[in-house]
Amino acid sequence: MPVDEQPLRLNKHLALQLGISRREADNLISQSKVTINGKPAVLGARFIIGDKIIVDGRPLVADVAYQYLAFNKPIGYVCSRRQQGESPTIYDLIPLKYHHLKPVGRLDRDSSGIILLSNDGDFAFTMTHPKFAKTKIYNVKLDHDLAPLHQQMISDYGVNLEDGNSLLQLERANETSRSDWIVTMKEGRNRQIRRTFAALGYTVTALHRTNFGNYSVSDIKPGEFEIVNIH
């Protein structure tokens, strides 16, 4: 059978075209929002190249390839397409041809470091869902020295926050300071590191993410990016 006549999985195709996970694609299909050649698609459906696929009244564009960027977010930028107040967005620093890519996880405006962007919904899902426990590493600076008792509390028992216990792995960034720390975590709740230290009376004055899963900010300069291969 010619390549262009081989049946292809619809949910995988939707995930690629729309930058969503296959589970989200299946939801669109089950909600009767997808048609193939004018007929409602069903879960598990396949199609061949040349079929007309419409999602929510809009036809899909063919032949979109997966793309992955590692971006070093500077302080002061938000991880959204729309400007929030006077804060610019990361898309102000990224070439227009990559504006269809979505952030994989986020960093708040006052944080810096590695952000991944992609149109691969499955990749985004595996990088951010708690069940995959992707390791994230941060350089954190506090407004004053962390007491040894608080260090033990955070590392061994965790700190109770309104959305659950927060357990972080702490390592001193150097031998002379107790306000500079390397924080390792496998969660990713909103402003979790900042809220954990704040619960004990500390303010995070600088937060920089150096690693996200297998990816490192490495020598990427602030405001710049590099194309990466997933691994």
N-terminal to C-terminal alpha carbon distance within the chain: 32
Name, in order, each residue with C-beta under 8 angstroms of 165's C-beta and a sequence gap of 6 or more: 158, 159
C-alpha dist (Å) from residue 98 to 64, 69, 108:
12, 9, 21
Q: How many CB atoms lie within 10 A of CB 222?
A: 15
- Does 120 qualify as catalytic in the annotation? no
Which is the catalytic residue, given 108, 120, 156, 219?
Answer: 108
Distance, in Å, from the CA atom of 105 to the CA atom of 159, rounded to the nearest integer, reads 23
Query: What single string gives the DSSP state of each residue in 63-84?
Result: -PPP-EEEEEEPTT-BSSSS-B
Query: What single string gives the DSSP state of each residue in 87-143?
Result: B-BGGGTS-GGGTT-EEES---TT-EEEEEEES-HHHHHHHHSGGG---EEEEEEES
Question: Max alpha carbon distance in the chain (Å)?
Answer: 69
Q: Point out the residues that are catalytic.
A: 108
